[in-house]
Amino acid sequence: MLGGAFTVFPVVDANGALCGIVMAEEVRILLLDDSLEHVVNAGDIMRPPVFVAETDHLARAVELMRSSGLQAMPVVDSQSRVVCLVSEAVVAKAYWRKSAPKSLGGD
């Protein structure tokens, strides 16, 4: 599960609001050391949240991914609840669909 598209995991509070993110690399390290399983929790290793709102333009997601070095990030609603994750690949595909000629599958 940690291979592939999962590079960031949102951490939410009791109300479901985003409060941080955990990187896949950190989870991999924890998986290699069984002694940490019951000692470390998400709050110990989470970073401040980097996210976009569901109303933000994709250009904002690209800007944040570039500046933060993330390959994916949470998308939140007006109450900071995670609605989905957006990745570089999803953004690139969306831009390609809009800019590609119709004969190549664009809009």
DSSP codes joined into one string, 45-79: H-B----EETTS-HHHHHHHHHHHT-SEEEEE-TT
Residue 99's CB is within 10 A of a number of other CB atoms, namely: 10
Residue 1: per-residue pLDDT: 37
pLDDT (tens digit per residue) in 59-82: 999 999 999 999 999 999 999 999
Structure tokens at 49: 């949240």
From the number of C-beta atoms within 10 Å of its C-beta (0-12, 13-18, 19+), residue 25 rates as: exposed
Residue 76's CB is within 10 A of a number of other CB atoms, namely: 23
pLDDT (tens digit per residue) in 16-47: 999 999 999 888 888 888 888 788 989 999 99
The chain-wide mean pLDDT, for the chain, equals 88
Residue 99: per-residue pLDDT: 83
